[in-house]
A = this chain, B = another copy of it.
Amino acid sequence: MRTKNSRRQPRVMVLRIGHRIPRDSRVTTHVCLTARALGADGVYIADVQDRELVERVNRVAQEFGGSFKVEAGKPWRSTVNEWKRGGGRIVHLTAYGLPLPKIMATIRRSHADKMVIVGAEKVPGEVFGLADWNVAVTNQPISEVSALGVFLDWLFRHRRLEVQYPNAGIQIIPTAHGKNVVRN
């Protein structure tokens, strides 16, 4: 329950930069599903309109519940600048950044809304300067999909893995061996 003194939960949006059709269609879908499953509020796909992908992910989001949304087509730079002007902070996931375990406490202490930037292969050099935090989920070559997953899991203190959505049309019931799906 929210009381007068409770702080608003910061919003967490993911910004996908460098998406190309059709090359990145599947990986960007993985980015979106990961963002939703691990507690982000939505994904902006920068610069490119990809109606098919947006519709596919938003349909899944609607079926499985929650209020997650994907939008596409707005230039990355104005998206970042607006976010910053609104008081939001920028996290950029990159193997070149500071190790997640070293920087996470600082990020968690900030009550600002967070935008998490994940690039497809090379990201404009400018992003490293615009970001409040360049964060490395290992300083090794990795996938932006798993980097995002691990980052969000840490951001939410490893407590977001069992969320059930009250408005879910389709619900998976955890099972030791098999499949159990309920349609409401």
Contacts and interface: CB of A to CB of B under 8 A. Distances in A.
Contacts of A173: 139
Interface stretch (A42-50, A73-81, A143-151): A143-151
A-side binding surface: helix, strand, loop or mixed?
A: mixed
Contacts of A161: 99-101, 137-138, 150
A163 to B, nearest CB: 7
Contact of A128 (B31, B136, B149, B177): B177
Contacts of A60: 141
Contacts of A129: 177
B96 A142 contact: no
A105 interface: no
A182 to B, nearest CB: 11
A91 to B, nearest CB: 13
6 contacts: A29-B143, A37-B138, A37-B141, A37-B142, A96-B181, A139-B162
Given A96-B181, A97-B176, A150-B153, 8 more contacts: A27-B27, A30-B30, A33-B142, A37-B140, A137-B149, A137-B161, A149-B149, A149-B150
